[in-house]
A and B are shown apart, each in its own frame.
Chain A
């Protein structure tokens, strides 16, 4: 492997890790508060991507300036996060709150099945993309290779900003502290007068937004095809599981690890590309069954 390829792989991995982190963060945040692993999270990623591409194509036709194109990405994510996230939480998850955990899981799986078809009905099966914003933001030279500013700087910057912003919000704001309290112990939090239902909804929408934002940010760099949601849910799950469910900083580090490993595989052993994240997950879970960053706690008996 030449040095150029190595740099290229690192740049790819870095950028990809940013996207992966956004999506995984949403997944792990929701798990922390609701105790549900939302399988439909992959669909939120896909819907975010498709909606963003649709808005971007439309804005490009209207010759909108670059900042509008960027704003369109965020708007798409917000739209998807609030609408689909809200529907999922209020319409579905609340109804199965007291049911068997298996059924809770399956309800999100059912939603995932529905969203997959809806997405195909709305956007069809041919690849969908809008790369305008990437080319407008130009390229930059990195140790002799050319890479797009959008992928190398913007995506990681957004991921980092979201990460730091979230840490700040959880530690310093009232809402954030309430979220932490509910994550820690729902009963105690409720007893302290926190409206756990409301916190649940807000977190779910925030998590859904992050999933959609991952898709929206990815949209200008790839072409969207049916199945992106499936790949993403499994991949982001492997990040979240490797890190330990509910671990935010863990997800940050693991996303970087898995993103990098995956892109190295793309250049060195392409047939392993799909398998690499899972191999990492399996290896980690073998040694630490609760993930890298979770401290196992004995159940009280």
Chain B
């Protein structure tokens, strides 16, 4: 169908744009990588939105992965970057698996606020244990080797850009497959009817836990990549505002298709660049106003608009 084609075209064009921009204007590499990181994190948050749940604390997984990277890189400077990233993702998956067991028992505002509460505890702990975590100043990470090669800053960023882009495309594809699989559709069933899930012999908690576990890993990966590109981790990576930004992007992009996360992240990054240049100090205000606008005008997000526009709102294809 045409939509499948549209999304492939968008993916190819978007990827080319990222690469060309990044290589032509080296300063843009960092914002592009950061944007892709936000997109990857939002893939995870969007999975929760499909289940009808919003988490105001998911950024904690970025924080957990980021600090894991920082601790390991400082303890063993010879560790390879890829290994650091994998370790970060592993840590966030582990945390997600444990926290998940608890939070999947709750829905709606309870789910949102419990995630927030846990992330706030983590946030304050990191802030308090200065000697270990560097407090609010955070921790610096020296540039590690990547796949055994040592890179200068520019080369390092280029490799990260390509790697992040590849990860974004691959994960976008996998997450979309997940959304359309039996597990993913059951996940969406949590939003509409848990009683029926139960009477199909399924455990709604188990279904949600699976989604939560993946989402923690995705947000974790984004945090690990973010830490690498910035060379720095701070508690802000896990602040409620960051969690809110992920939710914002998920709604802005729409959760009808995995690519929505990246469309949302792209718009988000552009607005952020714009706001940093012309409207300093009103970032949250801008986010809030946009969010209200999106909810009132296009509650299905950008991807919803595109799907409606091509009159292909059927849930098939991909």
Would A and B touch once assembled, by the CB under 8 A criterion?
Answer: yes
Residue of A with least CB distance to B193: A301
Q: Does B1 contact A (CB under 8 A)?
A: no
Kindly list the 5 A-B residue pairs having the minimum CB-CB distance in the complex, ordered from nearest: A113-B288, A114-B288, A117-B285, A110-B291, A278-B117
- Which residues in A have their C-beta under 8 angstroms from that of B251? 103, 106
A107 and B297 alpha carbons, distance in the complex (Å): 12
When the two chains form their complex, are residues B283 and A275 in contact, meaning their CB atoms are under 8 A apart? Answer: no
A105 and B129 alpha carbons, distance in the complex (Å): 34
Q: Does B128 contact A (CB under 8 A)?
A: yes
Residue interface bits B52-66, CB-to-A below 8 A is 1, else 0: 111010000000000
Known contacts A109-B244, A113-B284, A230-B240; A281 and B117 CB within 8 A of each other: yes
A234 and B289 alpha carbons, distance in the complex (Å): 22
When the two chains form their complex, are residues B52 and A107 in contact, meaning their CB atoms are under 8 A apart? Answer: no
By the criterion of a CB under 8 Å from any partner CB, how many residues of chain A are at the interface? 40
A242 and B244 alpha carbons, distance in the complex (Å): 23
When the two chains form their complex, are residues B110 and A241 in contact, meaning their CB atoms are under 8 A apart? Answer: yes
Which listed residue (B109, B110, B285, B287) contacts A285, Cβ 8 A? B110
Q: Does A55 contact B (CB under 8 A)?
A: no
When the two chains form their complex, are residues A114 and B284 in contact, meaning their CB atoms are under 8 A apart? Answer: yes
When the two chains form their complex, are residues B120 and A113 in contact, meaning their CB atoms are under 8 A apart? Answer: no
When the two chains form their complex, are residues A102 and B195 in contact, meaning their CB atoms are under 8 A apart? Answer: no
Residue interface bits A113-127, CB-to-B below 8 A is 1, else 0: 110111011000000
Known contacts A95-B296, A96-B296; A113 and B291 CB within 8 A of each other: yes
Q: Does A198 contact B (CB under 8 A)?
A: no
A59 and B240 alpha carbons, distance in the complex (Å): 36
CB within 8 Å of A: which of B85-131?
102, 105-106, 108-110, 112-114, 116-118, 120-121, 124-125, 128-129
Q: How far is the CB of B52 from chain A (nearest CB, A)?
A: 6
When the two chains form their complex, are residues B120 and A105 in contact, meaning their CB atoms are under 8 A apart? Answer: no
Known contacts A116-B284, A117-B284, A289-B106; A105 and B112 CB within 8 A of each other: yes
CB within 8 Å of B: which of A190-238?
230, 234, 237-238
Known contacts A96-B296, A106-B251, A106-B295; A285 and B106 CB within 8 A of each other: yes
When the two chains form their complex, are residues A114 and B109 in contact, meaning their CB atoms are under 8 A apart? Answer: no
A38 and B290 alpha carbons, distance in the complex (Å): 19
Known contacts A106-B295, A107-B295; A234 and B282 CB within 8 A of each other: no
A102 and B102 alpha carbons, distance in the complex (Å): 21
- Which residues in B have their C-beta under 8 angstroms from that of A299? 195
When the two chains form their complex, are residues A37 and B128 in contact, meaning their CB atoms are under 8 A apart? Answer: no
Contacts beyond the supplied A101-B52, A281-B117, A299-B195: 18 A-B pairs with Cβ under 8 Å: A99-B295, A106-B295, A109-B247, A110-B292, A113-B284, A113-B288, A113-B291, A114-B288, A114-B289, A234-B116, A241-B113, A271-B125, A271-B128, A275-B124, A275-B125, A282-B114, A282-B117, A289-B106
Q: Does A142 contact B (CB under 8 A)?
A: no
Known contacts A241-B110, A274-B121; A102 and B284 CB within 8 A of each other: no
A274 and B195 alpha carbons, distance in the complex (Å): 37
Q: How far is the CB of B277 from chain A (nearest CB, A)?
A: 17
Q: How far is the CB of B102 from chain A (nearest CB, A)?
A: 7
By the criterion of a CB under 8 Å from any partner CB, how many residues of chain B are at the interface? 41
Residue interface bits A269-281, CB-to-B below 8 A is 1, else 0: 0010011001001
CB within 8 Å of B: which of A82-136?
92, 95-96, 99-103, 105-107, 109-114, 116-118, 120-121
- Which residues in A have their C-beta under 8 angstroms from that of B289? 110, 114
When the two chains form their complex, are residues A113 and B287 in contact, meaning their CB atoms are under 8 A apart? Answer: yes
- Which residues in B have their C-beta under 8 angstroms from that of A285? 105-106, 110, 114
When the two chains form their complex, are residues A99 and B299 in contact, meaning their CB atoms are under 8 A apart? Answer: yes
Residue of A with least CB distance to B289: A114
Which listed residue (A37, A92, A109, A234) contacts B117, Cβ 8 A? A234
Known contacts A117-B281, A121-B282, A301-B195; A96 and B105 CB within 8 A of each other: no
Q: Does A286 contact B (CB under 8 A)?
A: yes
When the two chains form their complex, are residues B288 and A111 in contact, meaning their CB atoms are under 8 A apart? Answer: yes
Residue of B with least CB distance to A99: B299
Q: Does B49 contact A (CB under 8 A)?
A: yes
Q: How far is the CB of B244 from chain A (nearest CB, A)?
A: 7
B121, B195, B240 interface centre (most CB from chain A within 10 Å): B121
- Which residues in A have their C-beta under 8 angstroms from that of B118? 278
CB within 8 Å of A: which of B190-236?
195
A271 and B251 alpha carbons, distance in the complex (Å): 36
Q: How far is the CB of A119 from chain B (nearest CB, A)?
A: 10
- Which residues in A have their C-beta under 8 angstroms from that of B295? 96, 99, 103, 106-107, 110
